[in-house]
């Protein structure tokens, strides 16, 4: 059963703690992405990776970190430096077709709440 999975679905964190969100895909996609979604706002790109062992900052990377040690996995760490971490986090993956025909496939999301 191919797809992209995120865990956990709900996550609660105390202020000042780091937390890592999991994202795994078995679609054999080269590129992976992390987005943040807040009520009434469009998705905003946090980080993306076009290939293993390489990643780039998106529009709102401050307070976040990522790693891409395996093609299938792209975990996101929300650090204590992120001022407003409560949000819905979406992971996505796509082929690396630079002609523009790639479609991003999204995971089910993780809702992070900071207490």
Partner 1 sequence: KNQVEQSPQSLIILEGKNCTLQCNYTVSPFSNLRWYKQDTGRGPVSLTIMTFSENTKSNGRYTATLDADTKQSSLHITASQLSDSASYICVLRRNYGGSQGNLIFGKGTKLSVKP
Residue 85 CB, shortest distance to partner 1, in Å, is 18
Residue 16 touching partner 1 (CB under 8 A): no
- Please give the torsion angle defined by the CA atoms of residues 92, 102, 42 and 72, in that order, rounded to the nearest 10 degrees: 10
The reply to whether 98 sits near partner 1 by the rule CB under 8 A is yes
From CA 17, how far away is CA 67, in angstroms rounded?
Answer: 19
In angstroms, the CA 23 to CA 91 distance is 6
* 71 contacts partner 1 (rule: CB under 8 A): no
For residue 93, give the nearest of 3, 9, 20 by alpha carbon: 3
Residues 51-70 that bind partner 1 (CB under 8 A): 56, 58
Question: What residue ranges bind partner 1 (CB under 8 A)?
Answer: 4, 31, 33, 40-45, 48, 50, 56, 58, 88, 90, 92, 94, 96, 98, 100-109, 111
């Amino acid at each position: 059963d191919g797809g992209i999975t995120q865990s956990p679905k709900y996550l609660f964190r105390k202020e000042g703690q780091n937390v890592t969100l999991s994202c795994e895909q078995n679609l054999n996609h080269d590129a992976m992405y992390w987005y943040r979604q807040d009520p009434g706002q469009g998705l905003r790109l946090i980080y993306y990776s076009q290939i293993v062992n390489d990643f780039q900052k998106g529009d709102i990377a401050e307070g976040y970190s990522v790693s891409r040690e395996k093609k299938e996995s792209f975990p996101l760490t929300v650090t204590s430096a992120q001022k407003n971490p409560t949000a819905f986090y979406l992971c996505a993956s796509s082929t690396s077709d630079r002609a523009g025909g790639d479609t991003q496939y999204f995971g089910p999301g993780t809702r992070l709440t900071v207490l």
